[in-house]
Amino acid sequence: MDALKQLFYEKSNALAQEVKEILKEHGNKQVDDVQLNQVYGGMRDITSMIWEPSLLDSEEGIRFRGFSIPELREKLPRAPGGKEPLPEGLFWLMLVGEIPTKEQVKWLTENWVRRANVPEHVFRMIDTLPIETHPMTQFSMGVMAMQNTSIFTQRYSSGMNKTEYWDATYEDTMNLIARLPRVAAYIYRRIYHKGEQILPEISMDWGGNFAHMLGMENEGFKEYMRLFLTIHADHEGGNASAHTCHLVGSTLSDPYLSFSASLNALSGPLHGLANQEVIRWVIKMVDTLGTTKPTREQISDYVKSTLASGRVVPGYGHAVLRKPDPRFMAQRQFAEDNVPDSDLVKIVWKIFDVVPPILSSLGKVKNPWPNVDAHSGALLVHYGMKEYNYYTVMFGVSRALGVLAAQCWARALSLPLERPKSVTTAWVKDFLAKEAAVVQG
């Protein structure tokens, strides 16, 4: 058993025992009660799921195993000469709850290199898709195409004991994460670079190698990619891509099936696709206004015209957060340190000044602040990656780290099939009528 697997085995065994005891003693304690608003309103804030890798606070933002993003940037190991955390380190932290050493991260990078071989049929399958198929669709199908290699599914069909589910899930998780950059980069080069592929560089870290296979050799881009892959990795369990992975996985679908489903959830414009929508919207604004240095007044008018046409301002608002997203702030900090003179980045900062008061003035938007997707496009364009339909694929590569670490935990804690209760509006009316009858007497 490898060192990370052994550590996960020890930690998860201990927690599984603790959970048993907690539930034995406190299983019937009430942790939440639910209003009709929440039943109709997308289940906001209902505490109903266990997710070990990270926890979101509406005011403070995300913490990964208790560590904030600024803390991760300080404490996680970095690439030689680099300043940003290596996403491998975050995966280690999310899986076992400990900040890894440099040596442990080096081991993980090398382990993923050894597991990174993508079966040839995956590329052939992708090549059969029309070139204009959205990159996220190609990516999700690429992940599905690898499902025939699932160790979980192979072992399950040979009668695997349920106490070994976590072990097979760990193996699939490690293999799948190792392969994702190659599949994702293949799609990018296929669509935007006439299919001229760049082979992996086995001496590089996971994020640096992804940038290399995309054809982006600029060191600044590589550093941004490491930060990007770290901050997009997880946002507790209730967001659509995480929850989808968890729900599909709860049927004992293997990590390939559940992560592919997760990518489909990420592909919606209210979720991960917002990163492409933001930059599309900003570039349309620049084109419409005819200037790369719009004033605050011009931006304000443009935002109001977006709202007047019945559309949302992409990159703003959040279902849980009630403050500027620390993932936005980390990218802003990165841009201040590395690309302070980019016109596009300056527009993003001006939008940050202009949009919150406008959204607040509508009186219905619960969070007028920027989210993670408001900043990434401007940085990617700055470094020369202008194909914004591709941006959500990079988000997806990162998201695998969190949702698959969580799936290892779901198996280790034997979390069951997910099956919440639904009701009809007729049921609601009946419930209200009965309640009124009790009140009247």
Kindly list the catalytic residues: 271, 318, 373
Residue type, 254: D
What is the spatial distance between Cα 347 and Cα 378, in angstroms, rounded to a whole number? 9
What is the spatial distance between Cα 169 and Cα 118, in angstroms, rounded to a whole number? 18
By beta-carbon proximity to ligand HAX, the closer residue of 100 and 272 is: 272
Residue pair 383/332 in contact (Cβ under 8 Å)? The answer is no
Least distance (Å) between residue 11 CB and ligand HAX: 29
Q: Which stretch binds ligand HAX (CB under 6 A): 32-40, 92-100, 368-376, 420-428?
A: 368-376
Residue pair 330/69 in contact (Cβ under 8 Å)? The answer is yes
Q: Which stretch binds ligand HAX (CB under 6 A): 15-23, 335-343, 362-370, 415-423?
A: 362-370
Residues near 10 by beta carbon (within 8 Å), at least 6 away in sequence? none
Residue pair 125/142 in contact (Cβ under 8 Å)? The answer is yes
Residues near 288 by beta carbon (within 8 Å), at least 6 away in sequence? 302
By beta-carbon proximity to ligand HAX, the closer residue of 43 and 198 is: 43
Least distance (Å) between residue 341 CB and ligand HAX: 26
Residue from 150, 175, 260, 367 in contact with ligand HAX (CB under 6 A)? 367
- What the block records as the tokens of 438 is 């009790």
Residue 365 found at the interface with ligand HAX (CB under 6 A): yes
Give the other-Cβ count within 10 Å of 344's Cβ. Answer: 19
Least distance (Å) between residue 354 CB and ligand HAX: 13
Give, as ranges, the residues between 298 and 317 that touch ligand HAX (CB under 6 A): 307, 312-317
Give, as ranges, the residues between 240 and 279 that touch ligand HAX (CB under 6 A): 270-272, 274
Give, as ranges, the residues between 166 and 205 that touch ligand HAX (CB under 6 A): none
What is the spatial distance between Cα 19 and Cα 392, in angstroms, rounded to a whole number? 36
Place of tokens 């990007």: 228
Residue from 319, 348, 394, 397 in contact with ligand HAX (CB under 6 A)? 319
What is the spatial distance between Cα 74 and Cα 330, in angstroms, rounded to a whole number? 12
Least distance (Å) between residue 183 CB and ligand HAX: 21
Which residue has the closest beta carbon to ligand HAX? 317
Least distance (Å) between residue 268 CB and ligand HAX: 9
Which residues are at the interface with ligand HAX (CB under 6 A)? 239, 270-272, 274, 307, 312-319, 359, 364-367, 371-373
